[in-house]
Amino acid sequence: MACYVRLMGKGDIPQVDEIDHEAFPALWPPPNYRRELENRLAHYIVACDDALKAPERKLILPKAGPVPWLRRLFNREVPPTTKEYIFGFAGFWIIAGEVHITNIAVRESHRRRGIGELMLISLINLATKLDALFITLEVRASNTAAQELYAKYEFAKVGVRRAYYTDNREDGVLMSLEDITSAPVQANLRRLKQAHLKRWGIAAYSPG
């Protein structure tokens, strides 16, 4: 699978809203991602595939018609544009050296392919570039698979937010990764990058 990670742009918002609705239906409507992209504290990424390209229809006006200048302007073939297919997105806020991951979401049709882990690695890389000191996130108490993934990247459970999720009042487990620029954390990250690459064949971890 040809997948890579880059920073989210405004043109990605329709697909991001689709993924958000699918991943978090009980929390719909989604955040205003257009406003988020204008927020200097917020940083969002997307995982996408530039091999899946859908050419748009060419815009051609008939040669005959009552408005010559309009015909001259539009009576040509417009080169087809391409649209990347987005598999998932993720984001965080950074305030005073603290990064808080707000969401990581992958299309249901593309889960269990290493994309969520790819974006987690990319977020840690981006946080490191932004000179963050530590990273926090919340995860549902029932989502043991996600907790195990975060633990693999040395996130530790540091607390519980009671009735944190508004849809069913489920507790949120607060997890934190401290000293992200330290030698042990970076060594573990490099090891896990190699393991991820070997398993999934995806090596693009530095959005920007």
Q: Hey, where are the domains in the chain?
A: 4-133+179-200
Determine the Cα–Cα distance for residues 68 and 56; give it in Å rounded to an integer. Answer: 25
% of the chain exceeding 70 in pLDDT: 81
**Residues near 62 by beta carbon (within 8 Å), at least 6 away in sequence:** 71, 75
The 3-state DSSP class for residue 150 equals helix
CATH class given for the domain over 4-133+179-200? alpha beta
pLDDT, one tens digit per residue, over 75-110 is 444 344 447 899 999 999 999 999 999 999 999 999
Q: What global pTM score does this model have?
A: 0.83
pLDDT of residue 51: 61
Nearest CA-CA partner of 162 in 145, 147, 179, 174: 174
Average pLDDT score over the chain = 85
pLDDT of residue 85: 94
- State the pLDDT confidence band at 157, using cuts at 50, 70 and 90: very high
Asked whether the beta carbons of 89 and 8 are under 8 A apart, the reply is yes
Task: Point out the least confidently predicted range of 17-31, 55-69, 120-134, 140-154.
Answer: 55-69
Instruction: Please identify every residue annotated as catalytic.
Output: 138, 150
pLDDT, one tens digit per residue, over 21-59 is 999 988 878 889 999 999 999 999 999 986 654 434 333
Determine the Cα–Cα distance for residues 183 and 189; give it in Å rounded to an integer. Answer: 10
Determine the Cα–Cα distance for residues 203 and 103; give it in Å rounded to an integer. Answer: 21
Determine the Cα–Cα distance for residues 122 and 117; give it in Å rounded to an integer. Answer: 9
pLDDT of residue 60: 38
The secondary structure of 46-65, three-state, reads EEEECCCCCCCCCCCCCCCC
Determine the Cα–Cα distance for residues 5 and 200; give it in Å rounded to an integer. Answer: 14
Determine the Cα–Cα distance for residues 70 and 128; give it in Å rounded to an integer. Answer: 52
The DSSP H or E segment spanning 106 is strand 98-106
Tokens of 183: 């030698």
